[in-house]
Chain A
Amino acid sequence: MGIATAQVCSMRQVATMVGSPRIVTGKSVLHPVGDPILDLAGERALRRRILLDALKALESDGSRDAA
């Protein structure tokens, strides 16, 4: 029995190809949960949104991609 996992990443096709079950789209390969052109408040909000998607994905059964 494994551990439910949500993966935040930008290269969705690679993740899908290897069978990663709960894929959440990250911002960029270079900063999956950040964005240097935003100010800190903007980045925190971005992180929060991505994490809420990831938490929601964790509650799913993993049979389809989350967001």
Chain B
Amino acid sequence: MESFRIVHYLNQFFGQLGGEAAAGAPPQIKPGALGPGRVLQGELGEGFEIVATAICGDNRFADAPEAAADELVGLIAEFRPQLVIAGPAFNSGRYGQSCGTLCAAVQDRLGIPAITGMYEENPGVEQFRRRILIVRTGATARSMAETLRNLAALTRRIAAGEAIERPADAGCFPHGLKRPVVREENAAKRAVDMLLKKLGGEPFATEVSVPSFDRVAPAKLGAPLAAATVALVTDGGLVVRGNPERMPNGYCDRFTTIPVSGLERFTTDLVEAHHGGYDTQFVNQDLNRLVPLDAMRELEREGAFGRLHETVYATAGLGMSLTNARKIGREIGARLRQEGVQAVILTST
């Protein structure tokens, strides 16, 4: 019996052409499996064959995605595959784009399924999950072995003619499609049943998922306010003038610090606001409109609280992932705790 024919797509790095210097490599194809494709072939075993490996440099693809995809589809068609597997791309943005664009083009033009793998924060997920099956991966190639196993498992199901009705059950990102389903009982009964189960502490399955944000129990002020050290923190992108730490204006995974010991108010020669998510012109006229140093000093003198902490912590909140928000929050919290701070006023844009 003939093997199930697969073509594998890799970028210049995994396709063993080189690193960044080879990112301009043109679309090309080689017979057999290469690099991670060899491991994938091992996972698939008998009855499956990676008949060829298509490769293209990430930059070459990014410069003209339609043209690159077209050329690759042409090269791939010669090998008459029944499935194309691209990547996996993990969290790599450009590679994710190439994999997603190619898979969509293969499905459209060759009428065969094409699958890939990406990390949840790869922009390619949101862009392509509606059109192609994308296996969930870890953030880096450290999860390569597990990902290849998952890609192999999905391949076996596709080869067996299985229709993957619910991608989430196959370790993939949901397509985000809504399919009407007729239930036996009406919604009122189903909702009351669900509520009774929930109140009774029994398991129940929701029909609508909402993103869940972990609830953190609010910390209480440990000391009377009049004795407390209070710190100012902001997500409005405050940085030392000139941005010496090269803080990004969004998608941050770190924070910066601004010393304010002995400083009565912010002036534009000392600090600026660097944030791509809001028009910073007003705060850049007077940074105290973002982090109220002047008013805090006044209240400090009046004894409204103990003392103002000598460091302001800042980051830019634009497009911040929940993962990074938690990480940054914990890190700032740990530093403040170490520095003897009892309370924080966070000013958000």
User: Which positions in A face B, CB cutoff 8 Å?
Assistant: 1-11, 15, 17-19, 21-22, 26, 29-36, 43-44, 47-48, 50-52, 54-55, 58-59, 61-63
Contacts and interface: CB of A to CB of B under 8 A. Distances in A.
Q: Which 8 pairs of residues, A with B, have the shortest CB-CB distance? A: A34-B289, A62-B218, A2-B219, A21-B218, A47-B295, A9-B348, A31-B289, A5-B344
Among A11, A17, A44, residue most surrounded by chain B Cβ atoms (within 10 Å): A44
B139 interface: no
Interface stretch (B34-42, B88-96, B277-285): B277-285
A44 B225 contact: no
Contacts of A48: 295, 298-299
A46 to B, nearest CB: 9
Contact of B304 (A31, A47, A55): A55
A2 B222 CA distance: 10
Contacts of B294: 44, 47
A33 B285 CA distance: 13
Contacts of B236: 32
A62 B279 contact: no
Contact of A51 (B214, B285, B292, B348): B292
Contact of B305 (A8, A17, A55): A55
18 contacts: A2-B333, A3-B342, A3-B344, A5-B346, A7-B348, A8-B346, A8-B347, A11-B348, A32-B236, A32-B348, A33-B291, A34-B283, A34-B290, A47-B292, A51-B345, A55-B305, A59-B221, A62-B219
Interface of B: 213-216, 218-222, 225, 228, 230, 233, 236, 278-279, 281-283, 285-286, 288-292, 294-296, 298-299, 304-305, 333, 336-337, 341-349
Contacts of A30: 278-279, 281-283, 349
B108 to A, nearest CB: 38
A4 to B, nearest CB: 4
A30 B279 CA distance: 6
Nearest to B289: A34
Contacts of B213: 17-19
Contacts of B337: 3
A2 B343 CA distance: 9
Contacts of A51: 292, 295-296, 299, 345
A54 B343 CA distance: 11
A1 B219 contact: yes
A3 B282 contact: no
A51 B298 CA distance: 11
Contacts of B219: 1-5, 62
Contacts, number: 131
A67 B183 CA distance: 45
Contacts of B218: 2, 4, 21-22, 61-63
From A19, A22, A55, name the one whose CB has the most chain B CB atoms within 10 angstroms: A55
Contacts of A47: 288, 292, 294-295
B105 to A, nearest CB: 38
Contacts of A58: 221, 225, 228, 230, 343, 345
Nearest to A45: B295
A32 B304 CA distance: 21
Contact of A5 (B214, B290, B343): B343
Given A4-B218, A55-B305, A59-B225, A31 B283 contact: yes
B309 to A, nearest CB: 11
Contacts of A15: 348
Nearest to B236: A32
B299 A55 contact: yes
A33 B348 CA distance: 9
Contacts of A43: 286, 288-289
